[in-house]
Protein backbone atom coordinates (compact mmCIF):
# COMPACT_ATOMS: atom_id res chain seq x y z
CA UNK A 1 0.00 0.00 0.00
CA UNK A 2 1.39 3.36 -1.03
CA UNK A 3 0.49 6.56 0.70
CA UNK A 4 0.86 10.03 -0.65
CA UNK A 5 2.00 12.67 1.79
CA UNK A 6 0.57 15.96 0.63
CA UNK A 7 1.47 19.20 2.38
CA UNK A 8 -1.33 20.44 4.59
CA UNK A 9 -2.45 23.92 3.60
CA UNK A 10 -3.00 26.35 6.42
CA UNK A 11 -6.00 28.20 5.04
CA UNK A 12 -6.17 30.62 7.95
CA UNK A 13 -2.86 32.11 6.84
CA UNK A 14 -4.06 32.70 3.27
CA UNK A 15 -5.38 36.11 2.24
CA UNK A 16 -9.18 36.25 2.12
CA UNK A 17 -9.20 36.73 -1.66
CA UNK A 18 -7.45 33.35 -1.96
CA UNK A 19 -9.76 31.49 0.43
CA UNK A 20 -12.80 32.43 -1.64
CA UNK A 21 -13.44 32.54 -5.38
CA UNK A 22 -15.50 35.55 -6.51
CA UNK A 23 -17.18 35.32 -9.93
CA UNK A 24 -19.41 38.23 -10.93
CA UNK A 25 -20.27 39.02 -7.31
CA UNK A 26 -21.06 35.42 -6.36
CA UNK A 27 -18.60 34.12 -3.77
CA UNK A 28 -17.70 30.42 -3.74
CA UNK A 29 -15.92 28.72 -0.87
CA UNK A 30 -13.61 25.93 -2.01
CA UNK A 31 -11.84 23.74 0.58
CA UNK A 32 -8.46 24.02 -1.17
CA UNK A 33 -6.77 21.91 1.52
CA UNK A 34 -8.90 18.89 0.54
CA UNK A 35 -8.45 19.24 -3.23
CA UNK A 36 -6.01 16.45 -4.05
CA UNK A 37 -4.59 15.85 -7.56
CA UNK A 38 -7.33 14.34 -9.72
CA UNK A 39 -10.17 15.82 -7.64
CA UNK A 40 -12.65 18.30 -9.08
CA UNK A 41 -15.51 20.57 -8.14
CA UNK A 42 -18.42 22.11 -10.06
CA UNK A 43 -19.21 25.82 -10.02
CA UNK A 44 -22.80 26.62 -10.98
CA UNK A 45 -22.09 29.87 -12.83
CA UNK A 46 -22.72 31.76 -16.04
CA UNK A 47 -19.02 32.67 -16.21
CA UNK A 48 -17.16 31.06 -19.08
CA UNK A 49 -14.43 28.51 -18.46
CA UNK A 50 -11.83 31.01 -19.70
CA UNK A 51 -12.98 33.61 -17.15
CA UNK A 52 -12.79 31.01 -14.37
CA UNK A 53 -9.35 29.84 -15.56
CA UNK A 54 -8.12 33.44 -15.48
CA UNK A 55 -9.35 33.81 -11.88
CA UNK A 56 -7.60 30.54 -10.96
CA UNK A 57 -4.15 31.70 -12.17
CA UNK A 58 -3.43 33.64 -8.97
CA UNK A 59 -4.64 30.72 -6.86
CA UNK A 60 -2.42 28.30 -8.76
CA UNK A 61 0.69 30.31 -7.92
CA UNK A 62 -0.15 30.83 -4.26
CA UNK A 63 -1.36 27.27 -3.64
CA UNK A 64 1.25 25.63 -5.87
CA UNK A 65 -1.43 23.72 -7.80
CA UNK A 66 -2.22 23.29 -11.47
CA UNK A 67 -5.94 23.72 -12.12
CA UNK A 68 -7.99 23.30 -15.31
CA UNK A 69 -11.49 24.66 -15.96
CA UNK A 70 -13.91 23.26 -18.55
CA UNK A 71 -17.51 24.27 -19.37
CA UNK A 72 -20.10 21.71 -18.35
CA UNK A 73 -23.81 21.19 -18.02
CA UNK A 74 -24.48 19.02 -14.99
CA UNK A 75 -27.81 18.18 -13.40
CA UNK A 76 -29.45 20.69 -15.74
CA UNK A 77 -27.20 23.57 -14.67
CA UNK A 78 -24.63 25.35 -16.80
CA UNK A 79 -21.33 25.85 -15.08
CA UNK A 80 -17.63 25.12 -14.98
CA UNK A 81 -15.91 22.05 -13.58
CA UNK A 82 -12.44 22.66 -12.15
CA UNK A 83 -9.92 19.82 -11.86
CA UNK A 84 -6.71 19.83 -9.88
CA UNK A 85 -4.15 18.43 -12.32
CA UNK A 86 -1.10 18.54 -10.04
Torsion sign (Cα): 67, 70, 74, 76: positive
Secondary structure (DSSP) of 62-75: HHT--EEEEEEEET
* pLDDT tens per residue across span 48-76: 999 999 999 988 998 899 999 999 999 99
pLDDT band at 17, cuts 50/70/90? low
* 29: CB partners within 8 A, 6+ apart: 19, 20, 21
Q: If you average pLDDT over every residue of the chain, what do you get?
A: 84
State yes or no: pLDDT of 15 exceeds 70: no
Q: Residue 31: which pLDDT band, with cuts at 50, 70 and 90?
A: confident
Amino acid sequence: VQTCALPILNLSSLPEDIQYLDLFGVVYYVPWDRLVPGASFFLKTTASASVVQKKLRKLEKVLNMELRAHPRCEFGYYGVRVWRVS
